[in-house]
Structure 1
Amino acid sequence: MASPVTKKYALLLAVLALGALRRADAHPAGPAPLHITIPAPDGTPLAATVFRTGLETPVIVAGHGSAKARLKDLDDAETVPDRVVRALVEAGFNVVTYDRRGFGDSGGEGQFGDPALDGGDLNAVLDRIAEGALVPQARRGPDGRLVLGYSAYSMGADPVALMTTDRFGAMLLGISFSDMTDAMAPGGKPYQGWLTALLLLSRRQDSVISRDIRRLTLRGLRQRALARMPEAQAFLRERSLDCAAVKATDAAVLLMPGVNDTLYPLNHAARTFRCLRDTHGQDVRLVSQEKGHIIPGEVRGGRGLLNAIWPVENGFTVAQLEGRMSEAVYCPEAIGTPELAVRWFAAHLAPELAEPLALPPVCLSVGAEAGVVLSDLPSPGAPLPFEGVAVQVSNADLTADALSRRARRPGVDAPVFVPLVDVAEARALAGIPRVSLRFDERSAREARLRKLAVFVGIGVRRAGEVRVLNGQWQPFLINGGPYEDAELRGVGALLAPGDTVGLVISGHDVFFDGGAILTRGGIDKARVTIAGAVALPRLPPWGDSTLLIPNQRIPR
């Protein structure tokens, strides 16, 4: 039975949970960290650090995010992934961290999940550990094989680890990811903001991004057709999860997607969850968190830009949360992320190292201090129809427009809110909504010719203000329609009596269309009329129709 739990002192509980790992009876640290270099199959040097506890315990291999490098000293653990490493060592696990190629002290060029290069690098690290000299006390199973775990965080780590090796007994995949095509060009629409962020990352002094990635990114920005470029299609496809190619079929897997992640939304983890559970019969859990990837400040121009584009006086705001991994998750009680990692690996690899952990199959975050517990991902409810919604679509450069403060100059309208249901009692909304869209042929003809798109999300109107839940917009190219039973991006929120849940439809999005004037030499725009239906996730017991009153007031 699903039930939201909101804790007044949840942050304090999370801090206490983190501190409990460093209690007086914690396992003492072993020898000083050992810094080594491991040659990749192609000879590229991979920098690694070994934290040995001196105990006969499993070895956890830990990765890092796209803007970071490996943890080399436990005293320097500042980010949540680094604190996970520290907590694992303090609990008694042996841990090996390494810099992905192109990052930190490793050589080569960053590949972002290349199955051959990044997969070969991971196997090289595992081969070195298996030799025995790095961690002589490493635990081995009855068959003589090392007992290994894997803790990864973004940067295409999920497909690489799942499709590269069968040597892991347990895995924790933070900011879970499965589909590079959907990340870089969702719905066939190049994600201009994240492509630009990738270029910015390639110019950092502590990273060297593949020239192929830089070239494809530049072409995607200039041509605005990334998903239609054959070489780009192959590049993105090979960095995505192929369910049939999964090798880690014996691993227990914990997926931790960010419900506010605008690059790798909840949908990615849901696909991996179904792949591992339904196709391979694995023990897999999905625990969503609040944080994740957002558009960096260098791209979006600072916090004030969002309200400049969707002014509050028009009744719209867009929710975007800063940060990467959350300090704590709610399942439904608060538990610090480092403690969660320790107890997850202990439960599956070394039960003597931590208290037992009983995770349900699914925990979905519905706010900074609340979560719902489910036996499965929510199924869609009954379709809620709408019709006659007129939206102006445009590729206008809203950044320049907002800064000029002349909102009507490009002819850009505010997003349209389509009310669907009124909330009568407090409840949660979490999961993946689905939508069907039909475009009036007469009005859509011009938009099809100009290859324009609409952007659709789930919104909540409260006290006259509409908030797009979790900042999640899904683009739909008008020339690709109609769309039947298509996924919207996953959401998670608590609803209050008096809220109205609805569809938000916009004809533009700065993160997708920023720079359009510069790249295309002008503005394309058209007005289209849309009809369709929305199916919201069904969460028992709130699916009872007495708590949701269908709202037929559709704007025309």
Structure 2
Amino acid sequence: MRRSTIRVIAAVAAALPALAPGGAQARDQAVRSFDGTTLSTSFFPAAGLKPGERAPTVLQTHGWGLTRTTNPDATSNEDVGSVGVGVLRRAGYNVLTWDSRGFGQSGGTVTVDAPEFEGRDVMALVDWVAQQPEALLDGDGDPRVGMQGPSYAGGIELVAAGLDPRIDVIAPDIAWHSLTTALNRDGLAKFGWGAALLAVGTPTSLGLGLFSPYGPETGTLAPQLIRAAVDGATTGRFSPEVDAFLESRGPKDLVRRIRVPTLLTQGTADTLFTPSEAMRNYEILRDARVPVKMVWFCGGHGVCLTGNVPSVERAVLPWLARWLRRDASVDTGPRFEWVADDGQRRSAADFPLAAGPPLAAEGAGTVAITPVETLNGLVVVARPGLQGVRVPIPAVREETDVVGEPEVTVTYRATGLGTDDHVFGQLVDEVRGVVVGNQSTPIPVLLDGQGAHGHAAARGRRDARHPGEPLPLRARRRVEPLRDHARDRGRVRVAGARDAPDR
């Protein structure tokens, strides 16, 4: 593959101190990407690395709207799944952090991990790493490199691994497969998240670059992102232009080109990039016989209501030891691990789990559709609906793990002033009074007064059911992570049937 040509911008005095007396030096550096865009970076040699010694390197950028880590001793954040620079250095790795294109002190336009821009930026950074005296090389211009990081950082890992064969291992955290399925859920835009992402991304893309030590940078957001927020606010649906933009951003089809070991960590309380996104990537990589492992933890873009158990660092470090340091004696554990809603770790040899008897139930009732727009409190939390159709699911007789994508089928007759709308389904743990995984699922309905069927697959769940515990499905109108864009008024008479996979 043809490598991007880079030029190192005129020498800049190192802003970072030596990490240890007589040891290799940490340094800030501006690197020019394929199109001349400035990428602002910080390079941290592995702890204890002496002059003349070399080590594998981990590349790590940041989440949406944030900036690179500049603390050589940074610790891990288990709530979002970021492994700290200090943790990686002490494990024997150099770490290169950078401000992604358009954010922080880097220039350019934020194009949402586009292969032709952010993807090629990573290729330029790999070229730069190959020139560093601390970097272990597997060949001329081919450094031993891995990648780890959450959210926006996770997306670019999947993109870059599909583009550059010099990347040896990745551990993307709370990333996505398709922005179309992540942000435009069953035909309904996630306005709450769209507005939050716009609000968080604008200051760091427009402001911080003006104070770059390498000269003012006027980074900005792609105009389609502004349009997406406007579409979500006014209609609840994305325009064809925005749909096409989202379809072309991030990994999606590039996942099929990945051939390096991949650890997927995803948050079960994540209402932006749900476990379903990791499930798609996992299935593609497993079927391609790529070494892959998936870990679900209680965190991500959301609020963990059941108590998180540290899971990401303990999975990432063995994965890097096995595949980046190439220590064949390291055991990376079962292929699928998850933290259930009781706070206990579970594991399985593969995903999906072998199906047991279905947990099924039926119910009927009426859901009112009102013209009141509801964005109830935090956009990342789903609350149990007080009104709506309640479908009790029979209690299990023995300990049961419900893991996967529950399905709901609705037979309904709906009337209203408009032509179509949505109701929302959620699984509610009535013992604790919480929505399982903080997830609500939109179910499209036609307001034509005719009988019809609606179907939806809920986003990935992990629920530990104990004997005698009720777990009802509720069909309701109000929802938080998605904008409840009730443009019309009407009523929906529904009969719901829920079928959940279980172990």
TM range (shorter): 0.7 to 0.9
1:397-452 CA distances to partner (integer Å, 9 max, x unpaired)? 235899xxxxxxxxx97243211221334443322212223323xxx1427x3422
SS at structure 2 position matched to 1:470: helix
Q: Which residue of 1 aligns with 2:243?
A: 233
The 1:205–1:276 alpha-carbon spacing in structure 2 relative to 1, beyond 3 Å, is closer
Measured after TM superposition, the shift of residue 119 of structure 1 is 0.8
Q: Report the Cα distance in structure 2 between the residues aligned to 1:348 and 1:355, rounded to whole angstroms.
A: 11
1:336-355 superposed matches below 5 A? 337-351=312-326
Larger CA deviation: 269-278 vs 391-400: 391-400
SS at structure 2 position matched to 1:328: coil
Corresponding residue to 1:51 among 40, 44, 47: 44
The 1:391–1:242 alpha-carbon spacing in structure 2 relative to 1, beyond 3 Å, is same
Measured after TM superposition, the shift of residue 85 of structure 1 is 2.3
Corresponding residue to 2:330 among 338, 348, 356: 356
Q: Which residue of 2 aligns with 1:406?
A: none
Are 1:434 and 2:407 matched, yes or no?
Answer: yes
- 1:491 partner amino acid: R
Q: Which residue of 1 aligns with 2:436?
A: 469
1:174-253 superposed matches below 5 A? 174-205=173-204, 209-227=220-238, 229-243=239-253, 246-249=256-259, 251-253=260-262
Highest RCO, 1 vs 2 (Cα 8 Å, sep ≥ 6): 1
Q: Which residue of 1 aligns with 2:477?
A: 507
SS at structure 2 position matched to 1:500: coil
SS at structure 2 position matched to 1:455: strand
Q: Report the Cα distance in structure 1 between the residues aligned to 2:21 and 2:341, rounded to whole angstroms.
A: 36
The 1:351–1:222 alpha-carbon spacing in structure 2 relative to 1, beyond 3 Å, is closer
1:175-208 CA distances to partner (integer Å, 9 max, x unpaired)? 1311211222211111121111022113324655
Measured after TM superposition, the shift of residue 144 of structure 1 is 7.8
Q: Which residue of 1 aligns with 2:453?
A: 482
Measured after TM superposition, the shift of residue 218 of structure 1 is 3.4
Corresponding residue to 1:491 among 455, 458, 461: 461
The 1:56–1:240 alpha-carbon spacing in structure 2 relative to 1, beyond 3 Å, is closer
- 1:151 partner amino acid: Q
- Percent identity (aligned): 24
- 2:421 partner amino acid: L
Q: Report the Cα distance in structure 2 between the residues aligned to 1:469 and 1:31, rounded to whole angstroms.
A: 48
Q: Report the Cα distance in structure 1 between the residues aligned to 2:203 and 2:31, rounded to whole angstroms.
A: 24
- 2:55 partner amino acid: T
Q: Which residue of 2 aligns with 1:524?
A: 488
Q: Report the Cα distance in structure 2 between the residues aligned to 1:364 and 1:97, rounded to whole angstroms.
A: 29
Q: TM-score, normalised by structure 1?
A: 0.74
Q: Which residue of 2 aligns with 1:17?
A: none
Q: Which residue of 1 aligns with 2:310?
A: 328
The 1:524–1:30 alpha-carbon spacing in structure 2 relative to 1, beyond 3 Å, is farther
Measured after TM superposition, the shift of residue 360 of structure 1 is 0.7
Are 1:454 and 2:404 matched, yes or no?
Answer: no
The 1:35–1:232 alpha-carbon spacing in structure 2 relative to 1, beyond 3 Å, is same
Q: Report the Cα distance in structure 2 between the residues aligned to 1:218 and 1:338, rounded to whole angstroms.
A: 34
Asked if 1 retains the 8 angstrom alpha-carbon contact of 2:255 and 2:284, the reply is no
SS at structure 1 position matched to 2:263: strand
SS at structure 1 position matched to 2:271: coil
Q: Report the Cα distance in structure 1 between the residues aligned to 2:21 and 2:91, rounded to whole angstroms.
A: 9
Asked if 2 retains the 8 angstrom alpha-carbon contact of 1:177 and 1:269, the reply is yes
The 1:281–1:175 alpha-carbon spacing in structure 2 relative to 1, beyond 3 Å, is same
Q: Report the Cα distance in structure 1 between the residues aligned to 2:386 and 2:139, rounded to whole angstroms.
A: 66
Q: Which residue of 2 aligns with 1:301?
A: none
1:307-358 CA distances to partner (integer Å, 9 max, x unpaired)? xxxxxxxxxxxxx4389x96712xxxxxxx3343222101112155x98233
Corresponding residue to 2:282 among 262, 273, 283: 273
The 1:394–1:508 alpha-carbon spacing in structure 2 relative to 1, beyond 3 Å, is farther
Are 1:367 and 2:341 matched, yes or no?
Answer: yes
1:83-98 superposed matches below 5 A? 83-98=83-98
Q: Which residue of 1 aligns with 2:11?
A: none
Q: Report the Cα distance in structure 2 between the residues aligned to 1:367 and 1:387, rounded to whole angstroms.
A: 25
Q: Report the Cα distance in structure 1 between the residues aligned to 2:462 and 2:22, rounded to whole angstroms.
A: 39
Q: Report the Cα distance in structure 1 between the residues aligned to 2:472 and 2:433, rounded to whole angstroms.
A: 9
Are 1:139 and 2:136 matched, yes or no?
Answer: yes
SS at structure 2 position matched to 1:274: helix
Asked if 2 retains the 8 angstrom alpha-carbon contact of 1:199 and 1:217, the reply is no
Measured after TM superposition, the shift of residue 395 of structure 1 is 4.8
Measured after TM superposition, the shift of residue 500 of structure 1 is 1.0
The 1:107–1:85 alpha-carbon spacing in structure 2 relative to 1, beyond 3 Å, is same
Q: Report the Cα distance in structure 2 between the residues aligned to 1:184 and 1:538, rounded to whole angstroms.
A: 27
Measured after TM superposition, the shift of residue 38 of structure 1 is 1.0
Structure 1: gaps of 5 or more residues: 1-26, 295-319, 330-336, 403-411, 518-522, 540-556
Q: Which one has a larger percent strand, Structure 1 or Structure 2?
A: 2
Q: Which one has a larger percent helix, Structure 1 or Structure 2?
A: 1
Q: Report the Cα distance in structure 2 between the residues aligned to 1:29 and 1:385, rounded to whole angstroms.
A: 68
Q: How many residues align?
A: 451
Are 1:417 and 2:417 matched, yes or no?
Answer: no
SS at structure 1 position matched to 2:34: coil
Asked if 1 retains the 8 angstrom alpha-carbon contact of 2:101 and 2:108, the reply is yes
The 1:212–1:356 alpha-carbon spacing in structure 2 relative to 1, beyond 3 Å, is same
Are 1:262 and 2:271 matched, yes or no?
Answer: yes
The 1:466–1:342 alpha-carbon spacing in structure 2 relative to 1, beyond 3 Å, is closer
SS at structure 1 position matched to 2:109: coil
The 1:113–1:149 alpha-carbon spacing in structure 2 relative to 1, beyond 3 Å, is same
Are 1:75 and 2:73 matched, yes or no?
Answer: yes
RMSD: 3.1
Q: Report the Cα distance in structure 1 between the residues aligned to 2:66 and 2:299, rounded to whole angstroms.
A: 17
The 1:91–1:123 alpha-carbon spacing in structure 2 relative to 1, beyond 3 Å, is same
Corresponding residue to 1:533 among 487, 497, 501: 497
Measured after TM superposition, the shift of residue 390 of structure 1 is 2.2
Q: Which residue of 1 aligns with 2:26?
A: 33
Asked if 1 retains the 8 angstrom alpha-carbon contact of 2:82 and 2:149, the reply is no
Asked if 1 retains the 8 angstrom alpha-carbon contact of 2:186 and 2:444, the reply is yes
Measured after TM superposition, the shift of residue 392 of structure 1 is 2.0
Structure 2: gaps of 5 or more residues: 1-19, 207-218, 379-384
SS at structure 2 position matched to 1:204: helix
Asked if 2 retains the 8 angstrom alpha-carbon contact of 1:62 and 1:150, the reply is yes
Measured after TM superposition, the shift of residue 383 of structure 1 is 6.5
Larger CA deviation: 86-95 vs 51-60: 51-60
Asked if 2 retains the 8 angstrom alpha-carbon contact of 1:187 and 1:477, the reply is yes
The 1:479–1:237 alpha-carbon spacing in structure 2 relative to 1, beyond 3 Å, is farther
- 1:256 partner amino acid: T
The 1:349–1:162 alpha-carbon spacing in structure 2 relative to 1, beyond 3 Å, is closer
Corresponding residue to 1:392 among 333, 344, 368: 368
SS at structure 2 position matched to 1:422: coil
Q: Report the Cα distance in structure 1 between the residues aligned to 2:76 and 2:205, rounded to whole angstroms.
A: 18
Q: Report the Cα distance in structure 1 between the residues aligned to 2:225 and 2:123, rounded to whole angstroms.
A: 26
